[in-house]
A = this chain, B = another copy of it.
């Protein structure tokens, strides 16, 4: 399972979210994705009481799905543009709970630099939709397993020079 991490709280974020998830679903339907936005939860529309419960469930479901991802030869595909807080937290959590064994692949459309923690915990960095297609095609072609992922990742090390 591929855990898709990214924000959908601004129009710009939503547009990028649309673009990438469409590629995933339409062009790579043989892979399995967890796409949090598809759950359709909008916390701010709830009453305070409902919200409290919903937050706990969302937290449990997302962390639990990261456990599932760790099990099934999966990885995190993280859109770093605008640094969605949930995305960053999930990358830190994934690294911590798996001691770096749950691979993180970062994506940028806009040459975003990476914070040093995010940089060191990622195994590959992808720039733009075409590179993403290329990356996933090779991943599928080589069996869609962790060994293949680690091998392919060596060719996508074009991390930004901007670090902080």
| Binary B-proximity of A52-82 (CB < 8 A = 1, otherwise 0) | 0001111111111101101111000000000
> Residue A19 at the B interface, CB < 8 A?
no
Docked pose: A48 CA to B162 CA in angstroms: 10
> Residue A140 at the B interface, CB < 8 A?
no
> Which one of A9, A59, A62, A63 has the highest number of Cβ atoms from chain B below 10 Å of its Cβ?
A63
Whole-angstrom distance between the Cβ of A14 and the nearest chain B Cβ: 13
- Which residues of B are found within 8 Å of A147, using beta-carbon distances? 145, 147
Q: Is the CB of B85 within 8 A of A120?
A: no
A89-B91, A89-B92 in contact; A61/B59 too (CB < 8 A)? no
Q: Is the CB of B71 within 8 A of A64?
A: no
> Residue A116 at the B interface, CB < 8 A?
yes
Whole-angstrom distance between the Cβ of A74 and the nearest chain B Cβ: 10
> Residue A110 at the B interface, CB < 8 A?
no
Docked pose: A86 CA to B150 CA in angstroms: 25
> Residue A21 at the B interface, CB < 8 A?
no
Q: What 10 A-B pairs are tightest by C-beta distance, nearest first?
A: A92-B92, A71-B100, A96-B96, A60-B64, A64-B64, A96-B97, A85-B115, A59-B120, A89-B92, A92-B93
